[in-house]
Structure 1
Amino acid sequence: MRNKLDLAPIAGVDETPASYLSRLAATNFVSAREFAKDFDLSFQSIVDGCSREIRKLCELGGTTFHDLMKNTVRRTGPAFALRSEELAKDSIRRVRVLICPACVAQDIATSVQAPGLTAYGRLAWTLSPVRTCSRHSIALVEVARDLKPGVRHDFVRNIASAIPRIPRILDRAIHRPPSGLERYLLDRVDGCASSPWLDKMPFFAVAKTAETIGAVAEYGRTVNLKKLSENQRYTAGGAGFEILHQGEAGFTEFLAGLHKTYQVRRFGSEGPQALLGRVYTTFGQGLPDKAYDPVRDVISRFVKVSLPLGPEQHIFGKPVGRRVLHSIRSASIEHAMHPKRLRKLVIASGLAPDPSLPDRKIVFEVEAAKQLIERERTSMTLNKVPQYLNVPTGTFRVLFQAGLIRRHSLGEGELNEVFYRRELDEFLTSILKNSREVPAGDLSGHHIPAAARRARCSAVSVVRLIQDGRLSWIGRRPDVRGFLSVLVKVDEIRPFVAGEELRGLPIGKTTSKLHIHHRVMKGLIRLGAIRTERQRNPVSRNMVTIITYDELSKFSEEFVSLFMLARERRKHMPAVLHDLRAIGVRPVHEFESVGATFFRRSEVP
């Protein structure tokens, strides 16, 4: 047993062993690490909660072992423990020091010792989820950060620069009550558990879960958790605790709210990651610890009964298994039916409680979907027409939009809109009546979609040329049925569909004509020296940027590059430039930024 030192402070209420070691060392005029070395103590072991080393410290300071030991965060391999609670590494503040200025001011006011030796570090200040003093209802204030290994945990030295500023810090402090999460976590440390569902989870898991859920509740499903400030984390923790304190029912209700408020995107998938945002990604990718399994279980159950997920999909790495629900989108893909048609059927059958919802949010039982679609397949619907005509879906769409294939209504309601088989046959007859059978090896023609692509026109234009009798040759393949059996010659189509010839040259070709680099051309265009126009390419039908022939001639008549002058005079460019300067001819000042030298032709002899 060691003798008590003459100069030893009294341990404060809830003071940590590291704080007491720092104050004991400072009272004896040395740093904490120097003190530990002088008295054969292991500084790091005290920080890590070694009971043997803390007992030695208590003997030197004359304080009760139990008073310090209960405020010890013990290292337990890769994790940590505080009393009966399990902590993670990020549950503890190691390189930052936060204090309650009211507590420090009270320490100083109630002691005759020097202020720097009186203030002590509380256990709650070392817990990263705690950001408010529960005694004074004041936000903790950061007084040191990014501490280097050699000065960490030396409380007296860490707050020394803040001691003279305590009155000013206290005046500026934020007054607020402890959040529900902070009160709950501190109660757990004291052995007063009060939330049945959360009590089953470790301390660190409750803190992380509450802050994550609360951040999404307060700042949106796409919140960047790493960029939240301490005040935002305080708000998030409180909001998350209020949700989770209600147990699985409250958590599920929150998830349902996220689902309900999700704004459907025009493109992209809408699985659980998109709908739940950080709630799903955080527990699916960033927190693999099994301590979060209760949270993942609630999310999984919600997703399975709320989203139309197929057996090939996964939730947190586990296959969904049997599909329970279909959405209009998933059913349309699985059964190869157009979603608009399927939507009409679903709404008419009463399977959509809210018809205003988008396709991805209208869900119904798998069996109901099967019965509905099977009934639809017995009639000539929009989805069956392309197959009946043997026409690609894209081509059928443009033919339908152009009015070449008509749809009829047999009664009230959109469900009675059908295609007549007779009219579909008449359409095929109109493009086949003047055709001649082509041997299988004859490659002289192309079917209509291929010919349209090669001629750079719409299939509608080709069909109308056939129906109007304007083509002299129409072939027919005997081994192919319907629309795709019709053959036409591309060369015969092109004269009918070609557009206006370009009035100039594309920018890429003008550079070679003017003998300038493309960067110079861009500079001239940017300065307005050469104007461009937009015109539709007669072959590709795409809009292209051109420089008209008139514009090119105008520029060439007014300006000439140093390169072209040297070429015309069969001299090197420096020699030409020297000759021109000698007679007072200067380059065009406005073109200095384009990367080439130009002269006005009127000034060049």
Structure 2
Amino acid sequence: MREWLLRNYKREEFAGVVKLFQGIAERHLPIGTEETFVLGTSRRFLHSVRSASIEYNMMEDRVYNLVVQAGLVGPSELTSGRIYFDADRGHEVLTAALETLTTSEIASIFGTDIDTVRSMLDANLMPRVEAFGNSRVYSRVRKQDAADFLERLTADIADDSEIARLDDLVNACRIARCKKHEIFELALNGKLPSLRRSPDSSLLCRYLVDPTELRAGIEAKRRRTANETRQDAASKLFAGDQFVYWREVSRRLKASGITGLTLLKLGFLKGVDAANATTWRQQKYATLKSLKAFERTHISLSTLAEQHGISPVKLRRELDAKGIRPIYDQSVSASRPSLFYRRKDIRRFYR
């Protein structure tokens, strides 16, 4: 049909037919003003993913993801040249996308590393506008949102009297056992008044902070989070009043340092892996219920010896002679845990 129209478009008697089909083509095909169907195209009504990729200088997969995310088209397995969308609505979406920065661009502007930028986005310190999982893995942030973040992160330049007590972010993170994005989060919430800019540079990597204040702020934040989420079955398990850290188990039993961990490993105490509410480090805990049950049914060699005014070595020889054995041998650990006996085994010999 197009070939016939091209042969006859100059004939006056076919002008109406040519105009009709030109209008249909413009509304149903992705042709732009620089392209010709029969006559010159008056305006673009449709874009294909391919044509938009060329016009806006974007990768085709990014154009596709943007228009799908905006609801201009549905997911499709068609080729890029056959996926069409409204050109005017697409222009709004694609021009807005041009005013964005990638994580690597933000890292360069801020003077920090990409992992820190990603963690900042994960913590919602800046909103993502693109985060696709079905193509390249990348995120984008509006330029204005990045500028707003820097404006909100107000920090004075450190003076000579402050320099001595301040540390760079890398060392401060090591001391406070935290990540850089947590420093920025505290500062944005007004919880880090010591944050300063270096006299030499305004880049984030050169910021300075009091590590003691930072550590206190991080610990307080983590305790709040732990208290808020401890009752949530879907959240990370935090140690509470019903859990006893294995070192505290040893102290409570008046036993050698490794004993609590040995009792957990051998199954004499019920163990759980939970996060310390202050440091958020995963640690081994015993349930308080299982510890109380163990105390009711077991006694340590040292406690029994003290009760009867006899040395532990001599008492152990007596128990061995009577055929009474501890619940484990000290060879289970190179650190020689304290020995325990079942109360029912020694009851008829020692009251």
TM-score (norm. length: structure 2): 0.49
Q: Which has the higher contact order (CA 8 A, sep 6+)?
A: 2
Bigger radius of gyration? 1
